[in-house]
Amino acid sequence: MTGEVARAWAQAAQAADRVGVKVVELSSAAELTECSALLQRVWRADHPAEVASTVILRTYAHSGNYVAGAYRGEALVGTAIGFFGRGGDAGAAGWHLHSHLAGVERGGHGQGVGFALKLHQRAWTLARGVPEVHWTYDPLIRRNAYFNLQKLGADAAEYLPEFYDAMTDGINSGDLSDRILVVWRLAGARAEAAAAGRLAEADLTGAVAAVSPSPDGTEPVAHAVAAAGVRTVAVPADAEDLRLRDPGAALRWRHAVRDAILDGLAAGLRVTGISRDGRYLLGGA
């Protein structure tokens, strides 16, 4: 494990250097208050406790869990928080880190800060002898799906309908809280390739569309597919904006994507990746 850990720390440092940030663990009350405020802004929450209060962050950090921030100069521009859990490839007795929250200052997506944070999290977790990081994400958010499955090389493990029940923050309020659980096998081939920038794009050759966008891109169109056929499931271009403009259309997308993915999983397929234009690929093992 020693060589893997050293390589992971080097990759994390390179990712941070490329985008001009420094990723560090957070522990002081002042740092954690700033972290809580950033998360409140990212989630457009009315109060910090709707996402993560300073008190809970202090508890996580003091008890040896993962609380880190990315600084550009003196400004905190991103953060990631995780706590230890049980289960995963090692079975019920095996430990993993559950990456509960990760956010980048609004307007900062796509600039490499999130990647630098996650590579720091990967190295930090490997250094503690823990082989996996788990987290959930909204399957309709295209940029998150691509980041998780293609940029990081995590694996989609389970589709969880209405996982959090009703949510009240400014991003998720009024929508159904479906989530995909991902498992990031930190020393696995996909994670290693992703950390080195070598993970291949999803190959959609031969796949048929189970869900595609309407001609204007606003509505989902469901298609009949062969029972065990390799298929794609499209998501909207910007689900967060669609939720605000047309909640009814957003809900129709939610159900269409849910039904198509669950149908594919029931047929013995699995989510193997997502294309840059927002089409999940469901295929064999």
Tokens at 48, concatenated = 């910090």
What digits encode the pLDDT tens for the residues 132-181?
999 999 999 999 999 999 999 999 999 999 988 755 554 555 569 899 99
What digits encode the pLDDT tens for the residues 237-280?
999 999 889 999 999 999 999 999 999 999 999 999 999 999 99
Q: How far apart are CA 177 and CA 165, in angstroms?
A: 6
> Which pLDDT band holds residue 88 (cuts at 50, 70, 90)?
low
pLDDT for residue 1: 60
Of the candidates 188, 258, 261, 248, the residue with the CA atom closest to the CA atom of residue 218? 248
The C-alpha angle 260, 265, 269, rounded to 5 degrees, equals 110
pLDDT for residue 225: 95
pLDDT surpasses 60 at 91: no
Of the candidates 125, 120, 56, the residue with the CA atom closest to the CA atom of residue 88? 125
Domain residue limits, the chain: 2-195, 208-283
Contact residues for 81 (Cβ-Cβ < 8 A; gap 6+): 35, 52, 57, 60, 65, 66, 67, 68, 99, 100, 101, 102
Instruction: Kindly compute the dihedral angle of the four CA atoms of residues 99, 174, 35, 196, in this order, to the nearest 10 degrees.
Output: 40
Backbone angles phi, psi at 92, to 5 degrees: -60, -25
pLDDT for residue 284: 84
pLDDT for residue 227: 84
Residue pair 154/27 in contact (Cβ under 8 Å)? The answer is no
pLDDT surpasses 70 at 86: yes
pLDDT for residue 213: 97
pLDDT surpasses 70 at 185: yes
Tokens at 100, concatenated = 């509960």
pLDDT surpasses 60 at 90: no
Of the candidates 217, 218, 262, 237, the residue with the CA atom closest to the CA atom of residue 140? 237
Q: How far apart are CA 140 and CA 65, in angstroms?
A: 29
pLDDT for residue 48: 86
- Alpha-helical (H) ranges within 63-182 are 113-127, 142-146
Tokens at 108, concatenated = 């900062």
What digits encode the pLDDT tens for the residues 187-244?
999 999 999 999 999 999 999 999 999 999 999 999 999 888 899 999 999 999 998 8
> Can you point out the beta strands (E) in 49-196?
66-72, 75-86, 95-104, 132-137, 155-160, 179-185
Q: How far apart are CA 11 and CA 195, in angstroms?
A: 7
CATH of 2-195, one of 3.40.630.30, 3.40.50.10540, 3.40.640.10, 3.50.50.60: 3.40.630.30
pLDDT surpasses 90 at 55: yes
Q: What is the pTM of this model?
A: 0.92
Residue pair 122/195 in contact (Cβ under 8 Å)? The answer is yes
Q: How far apart are CA 11 and CA 9, in angstroms?
A: 5
